[in-house]
């Protein structure tokens, strides 16, 4: 019977050690989860501070006018770009010059007065 008693003692010791290790691992996991929960709660409690700047009523019209000027400048740039591309596509002749925009000689047209 002594072999059976020693086997039981060894088995009891090994099972106790395994149970303690398992319990410690579970305890460690629970602590880590609680720390993570606390960290996330603190993050949720933070509120961003957004500072809205207010424009004085007397300056509000000026600010709106500046935005309108920027929009007008953009429209002007578009118009100039379109006009420039049309000029490049067509040959423009100037009556006071003897050559065209592209450097070709211009035939003079004489108007007859009735």
Region 30-40 average pLDDT: 94
Planar angle of CA 43, 46, 52, nearest 5 degrees: 140
Which tens digits make up the pLDDT trace of 42-90? 888 876 666 666 766 666 666 666 667 777 778 778 878 877 776 665 5
pLDDT, tens only, 95-109 = 555 555 555 555 555
Q: What is the pTM of this model?
A: 0.36
In the chain, count of helices (H) and strands (E)?
2, 0
Taking the domains of the chain in order of start, what are their residue ranges?
A: 1-42, 71-105
CA atoms within 13 A on the CB side of 34: 6
């Amino acid at each position: 019977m002594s072999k059976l008693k020693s086997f039981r003692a060894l088995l009891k010791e090994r099972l106790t050690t395994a149970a303690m290790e398992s319990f410690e691992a579970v305890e460690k996991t629970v602590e880590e989860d609680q720390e993570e929960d606390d960290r996330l709660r603190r993050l949720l409690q933070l509120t961003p501070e957004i500072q809205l700047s207010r424009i004085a009523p007397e300056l509000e019209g000026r600010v709106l006018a500046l935005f309108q000027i920027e929009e007008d400048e953009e429209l002007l740039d578009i118009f100039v770009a379109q006009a420039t591309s049309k000029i490049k596509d067509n040959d423009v002749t100037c009556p006071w010059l003897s050559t065209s925009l592209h450097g070709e000689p211009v035939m003079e047209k004489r108007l007859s007065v009735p």
